[in-house]
Structure 1
Amino acid sequence: MTTSVLILEDDLQLVRLFRHILCHEGFELIHCKAVSLAKSLVHQLRFELALVDVVLGPDDNGLDFVRYAREVRPEMGIMVISGKSTTMDRIIGIQMGADDYLPKPLDMRELVVRAKRLIQRLQAHSPSGSELLVQFSGFVLDKKRRTLCTSEGEFIGLTSREFDLLVCLTESGNRVIGRDVIASLVCGRSWSALDRSVDVMVSGLRCKLRKFHPSEILIKSVRGQGYCFGSVVEPILWTQRV
């Protein structure tokens, strides 16, 4: 089965290289050069992955698309590919909603590996159980559509990893989850004592939840062990949705 990929890139030579390499790896590509068209495409079609350049022209910025796509297609993987490669550039890209950030010039082998791992991780966290819709502390978590919103219907933009982390925590039954487990389940890699990426990811998710519940600690730190969820999670039955 092919994987549908949207490419937002104005470098046509690079796009031709994408087609040459990625099509042989089982990817089906749709290319556009403008943010407005990319927004229209993700609104109408379903993509597993988007490859997004940041600098597209004097009036276009790929991060504008990243922010929009994360809202309307939270289940889609987003990889930023850009010549802007400072630490701050990468941080901003991730904060906007990107799952990964690759600097140019690209190593196509690395791009293929990262793209496949991202898609595999998203598919692995796609729920198949009965409790696909749950609620906690005034939030509604839809695991099928991969969305989080308030009980009033206001959507909260999460990155794919933040969403997977939240699912992991809400399914823990208030048990403590170690950083090594989170790194394995959410990031797909091993964890070391010097690795702060899990803590950074937890901090980002906390900030987004705290905007709506500033007085409630939903993700609790357990010193020397990891994290646990601090709210009661309840399934939403179909009768409650009518």
Structure 2
Amino acid sequence: MSEPSDPTVAPPLTRCLLVDDDPGIRALLADFLRPFGMPLVSVASGVAMRQHLTSETFDVLLLDLMLPGESGLDLCQWVKQHQPRLPVIMLTAQGDTCSRVLGLELGADDYLPKPFEPRELVARIRAVLRTASGAAQAPARTRTAIGDWTFDRVQRRLHSPDGVMVPLSAAEYRLLVAFVDHPGQALTRERLLEITRARGVETQGRSIDLAVSRLRSKLGETDAHAGLIRTLRGTGYLFAPRKAP
């Protein structure tokens, strides 16, 4: 018989790192998040962000888009290359659709337009943490052989036959996952858009073509009709993985 849980034991804290150059917002969010078990460390620059991320462990990163010096987009890209499992919520200007899309394409997990209600931020933090927890516990294989390449789903990277790491953008990652999960199947652009669409982003078939072109380039593919990712005229694409010799 298991012992009852100790009611005096507090639930685990969610450590948050905020990067925002507005001292008022940093103070406001620190005071608001604390009662929800979300202690906040706040910094004003990318330099300070890197220092904290290399010396401490955080559960979520709250990243302002408009920062002096390095932009939030540049910092998001750096984080996803060095700590791909760290969830990132971008804080963006109201109606800044272009930057919001770019942030999601670079790997941001969610975005929140300013001004926002702090209570909504709490809900967004909990949502991305649930998603991250589910991904970490998923039983699916994390590494997939693609010919003589290796695709690491967790790290969101490709490894070439020579062992060179090739980073993937968020769009390229979602597209490659779609192909790997549907080998030998003819996929229309509309179906690929449905599978790979990021939340809150409206995309068109042309974006699939561009992502395919970039992905082919990273895989060293030059033949659109006989390579790993084959163009089906009038239909879409087909992923034809070959076994390594």
Q: How does the TM-score come out when normalised to structure 2?
A: 0.70
Residue aligning to 2:5: none
CA contact (8 A) 1:132 1:143 kept: yes
SS in 2 for 1:134: strand
Residue of structure 2 aligned with 1:89, choices 82, 99, 116: 99
The answer to whether structure 1 residue 206 and structure 2 residue 212 are counterparts is yes
Question: Cα distance 1:133–1:179, how it changes in 2: closer, same or farther (>3 A)?
Answer: closer
Amino acid at match of 2:38: F
Residue aligning to 1:75: 85
Question: Cα distance 1:56–1:163, how it changes in 2: closer, same or farther (>3 A)?
Answer: same
Question: Cα distance 1:18–1:39, how it changes in 2: closer, same or farther (>3 A)?
Answer: same
Residue of structure 1 aligned with 2:32, choices 10, 18, 21: 21
Q: In 1, Cα distance between the equivalents of 2:232 and 2:34?
A: 44
Q: In 2, Cα distance between the equivalents of 1:30 and 1:146?
A: 27
Unaligned runs of 5+ in 1: 190-194, 235-242
Unaligned runs of 5+ in 2: 1-11
Q: How many residues align?
A: 224
Residue of structure 2 aligned with 1:133, choices 113, 118, 143: 143
Q: How does the TM-score come out when normalised to structure 1?
A: 0.70
The answer to whether structure 1 residue 7 and structure 2 residue 4 are counterparts is no
For the aligned residues, what is the CA RMSD?
3.7
Residue of structure 1 aligned with 2:117, choices 77, 82, 107: 107
The 10-residue stretch of structure 1 (211-220 or 196-205) with the greater mean CA deviation from structure 2:
196-205
Residue aligning to 1:150: 160
Residue aligning to 2:3: none
SS in 2 for 1:3: coil
Amino acid at match of 2:142: L
- Which 4+ residue blocks in structure 1 deviate beyond 6 angstroms? 219-224
CA contact (8 A) 1:39 1:68 kept: no
Amino acid at match of 2:168: G
Q: In 1, Cα distance between the equivalents of 2:169 and 2:231?
A: 19
Amino acid at match of 2:212: R
The answer to whether structure 1 residue 123 and structure 2 residue 133 are counterparts is yes
